[in-house]
Amino acid sequence: MSVNEQMVQDIVQEVMAKMQIASDVSGDRGVFTDMNEAIEAAKKSQKIVARMSLDHREKVISNIRKKIKENAEILARMGVQETGMGNVGHKILKHQLVAEKTPGTEDITTTAWSGDRGLTLIEMGPFGVIGAITPCTNPSETVLCNTIGMFAAGNTVVFNPHPAAIKTSIYAINLVNEASVEAGGPDNIACTVEHPTLETSNIMMKHPAIQLIAATGGPGVVTAVLSSGRRGIGAGAGNPPALVDETADIRKAAEDIVNGCTFDNNLPCIAEKEIVAVDSVVDELMNYMINEQGCYLISKEEQDALTAVVLKDGKLNRKCVGRDAKTLLGMIGITVPDNIRCITFEGPKEHPLIATELMMPILGVVRAKDFDDAVEQAVWLEHGNRHSAHIHSKNVDNITKYAKAIDTAILVKNGPSYAALGFGGEGFCTFTIASRTGEGLTSASTFTKRRRCVMTDSLCIR
Ligand code: NAD
């Protein structure tokens, strides 16, 4: 798949023309008023899942994939309508990606040793019921991707979604349960509560049936989960820098970086949040960004005005997160044509619009005196999140040096950030990138425990 802006616009037009979202989207499969009830239902369901053959699990997953594709437009539109964030066309592509590239049961593999003393297997078994906390930035994408992986591994899941995206999350939870029942599986493979709160989240984290918690979100939720006393998978915040050196194809770098940065209005945690470029290429790079890639250059006064709106009293203004460049500029009284998709300026790394994870199409450019300086500034900007970073360079020594220094779960070379999700790049898709706890891009095998099965003195037939 490749992202082509025209293609995206065409999809959006088509969706707008043919779709009317039903005003009542909430069915009740998997949805409970009480968190304890939701967990009990998921526990019952898991007992059935544990007895299902892998083949049967795979049939359910195929039906989930089919339903995601059929509902991609609705889910995308709901997500944008409910949260006010993101881009419908891009969200459709994200759902298609989840449907096509999230690994299923094939991800669960076995290791074997056989010899004179018998046969030993390491099998990947389910945890049971997993608790999952999901963000408002990719609400249904995360619910769907988590459910496929967790269910493929033999688990069921209880979600505590972001309250600002609960309708969209419930729609996705209904969908996976419907898919399971239609394919002869149990109901409640994914459960949630009608009104998720910090309290329901706490009940979930402390419940004895929950053996593993996957937290996808900012630093607060990851810290809460890692302090819960349960095993936690922490998929936390990022602030990915895109480094450009003098060996890069500068014109292509400008295109890739702006494509990645503007995808779903910069909501993905992996998306380029700022650029660090060596001195000799900064002007050329910005030239391409402004003249060919729809970037609007803001003056010092406009930077100040934008900072005041975007970081109200130093805090991220939620009304700006996931908005497009035209809307953001409109907030400071600037009207721009429709081709403007990104905002840019040159500034020091400490500039608040550069150092903060904004999740908006604002790409500040930091000038570095040479490559080593660029690496140092990029590492500072990543804030030790160990999440994602990107580089545009043809020099393998430079790429290696940067990769070692920044030490992130994702490092895209010479492409847009979304290539890391398998979109225009090789590999599988996930929307939970365990940056804090080190599992990296999660998939079914991440949601398993290793079990050693030993037969002594038999079954070796070598
Ligand atoms: P958020 O941290 O505000 O919320 C995420 C989830 O955590 C929500 O369900 C929220 O209700 C819950 N939550 C927040 N604080 C909590 C606490 N103290 N205890 C229990 N639950 C709590 O994040 P968001 O705005 O929804 O999403 C954006 C953030 O998530 C960004 O920082 C982004 O980088 C990160 N993110 C990371 C990944 C990843 O895979 N690493 C993926 C998507 C988003």
Low-confidence ranges of the chain (pLDDT < 70): 1-27
State the distance from the centre of ligand 1 to the C-alpha of 166, rounded, in angstroms. Answer: 14
Pocket lining: 133 vs ligand 1, CB cutoff 6 Å: yes
Pocket lining: 170 vs ligand 1, CB cutoff 6 Å: no
Do 286 and 352 reside in the same domain of the chain?
A: yes
Do 186 and 281 reside in the same domain of the chain?
A: no
**Tokens 């059935």, located at residue:** 48
Do 228 and 294 reside in the same domain of the chain?
A: no
Do 298 and 421 reside in the same domain of the chain?
A: yes
Q: What pLDDT, on the 0 to 100 scale, is given for residue 6? A: 55
Residue nearest atom 23 of ligand 1, based on CA coordinates = 217
Q: What pLDDT, on the 0 to 100 scale, is given for residue 50? A: 97
Residue nearest atom 35 of ligand 1, based on CA coordinates = 217
Do 325 and 202 reside in the same domain of the chain?
A: no
Tally of structural domains, the chain: 2
Residue nearest atom 21 of ligand 1, based on CA coordinates = 221
State the distance from the centre of ligand 1 to the C-alpha of 221, rounded, in angstroms. Answer: 6
Which pTM was predicted? Answer: 0.94
Do 65 and 128 reside in the same domain of the chain?
A: yes
Pocket lining: 94 vs ligand 1, CB cutoff 6 Å: no
State the distance from the centre of ligand 1 to the C-alpha of 217, rounded, in angstroms. Answer: 2
CB-CB neighbours of 232 under 10 Å: 24
Is residue 381 within 8 A of residue 276, CB to CB? The reply is yes
Give the ligand 1 atom nearest the CA of 268: 43
Q: What pLDDT, on the 0 to 100 scale, is given for residue 22? A: 35
Which tokens is 350 given? 């400490």
CB-CB neighbours of 203 under 10 Å: 20
Residue nearest atom 12 of ligand 1, based on CA coordinates = 221
Residue 459, φ and ψ in degrees, nearest 5: 70, 0
State the distance from the centre of ligand 1 to the C-alpha of 281, rounded, in angstroms. Answer: 36
Asked, for residue 357, whether it belongs to a domain, the answer is: yes
The rounded distance, in Å, linking the Cα atoms of 259 and 280 is 23
Do 267 and 391 reside in the same domain of the chain?
A: yes
The rounded distance, in Å, linking the Cα atoms of 293 and 392 is 17
Do 220 and 252 reside in the same domain of the chain?
A: no
Residue nearest atom 26 of ligand 1, based on CA coordinates = 135
Asked, for residue 230, whether it belongs to a domain, the answer is: yes
Give the ligand 1 atom nearest the CA of 134: 9
Q: What pLDDT, on the 0 to 100 scale, is given for residue 374? A: 98
Asked, for residue 177, whether it belongs to a domain, the answer is: yes
Do 34 and 156 reside in the same domain of the chain?
A: yes
Q: What CATH number corresponds to the domain at position 141? A: 3.40.605.10
Asked, for residue 204, whether it belongs to a domain, the answer is: yes
Torsion sign, CA atoms 70, 74, 80, 82:
negative
Give the ligand 1 atom nearest the CA of 270: 34
Q: What CATH number corresponds to the domain at position 342? A: 3.40.309.10
Q: What pLDDT, on the 0 to 100 scale, is given for residue 28? A: 83
Asked, for residue 431, whether it belongs to a domain, the answer is: no
Pocket lining: 216 vs ligand 1, CB cutoff 6 Å: yes
Helix 371-382 and helix 396-406, axial crossing angle in degrees, nearest 10: 30
Which tokens is 269 given? 């945690």
Residue nearest atom 20 of ligand 1, based on CA coordinates = 221
Do 346 and 445 reside in the same domain of the chain?
A: no
Asked, for residue 298, whether it belongs to a domain, the answer is: yes
Do 219 and 275 reside in the same domain of the chain?
A: no
Asked, for residue 12, whether it belongs to a domain, the answer is: no
Give, for ligand 1, the residue of 138, 169, 201 to mutate: max count of ligand atoms closer than 8 Å to Cβ. 201
Residue nearest atom 11 of ligand 1, based on CA coordinates = 162
Give, for ligand 1, the residue of 94, 134, 137, 192 to mutate: max count of ligand atoms closer than 8 Å to Cβ. 137
Q: What pLDDT, on the 0 to 100 scale, is given for residue 12? A: 44
Q: What would the 3-class secondary structure string for the chain be? A: CCCCHHHHHHHHHHHHHHCCCCCCCCCCCCEECCHHHHHHHHHHHHHHHHHCCHHHHHHHHHHHHHHHHHHHHHHHHHHHHHHCCCCHHHHHHHHHHHHHHCCCHHHCCCEEEEECCEEEEEEEEECCEEEEEECCCCHHHHHHHHHHHHHHCCCEEEEEECHHHHHHHHHHHHHHHHHHHHCCCCCCCEEEECCCCHHHHHHHHHCCCEEEEEEECCHHHHHHHHCCCCEEEEECCCCCEEEECCCCCHHHHHHHHHHHHHHHHHCCCCCCCEEEEEHHHHHHHHHHHHHHCCEEECCHHHHHHHHHHHEECCEECCCCCCCCHHHHHHHCCCCCCCCCCEEEEECCCCCHHHHCCCCCCEEEEEEECCHHHHHHHHHHHHCCCCCEEEEECCCHHHHHHHHHHHCCCEEEECCCHHHHHCCCCCCCCCCCEECCCCCEECCHHHHEEEEEEEEECCCCCC
ipTM over the 0.95 cut-off: yes
Among 418, 438, 415, 427, which Cα is nearest to 102's? 427
Boundaries of domain holding 310: 241-425
Give the ligand 1 atom nearest the CA of 431: 40
Pocket lining: 421 vs ligand 1, CB cutoff 6 Å: no
Do 232 and 255 reside in the same domain of the chain?
A: no
Asked, for residue 11, whether it belongs to a domain, the answer is: no
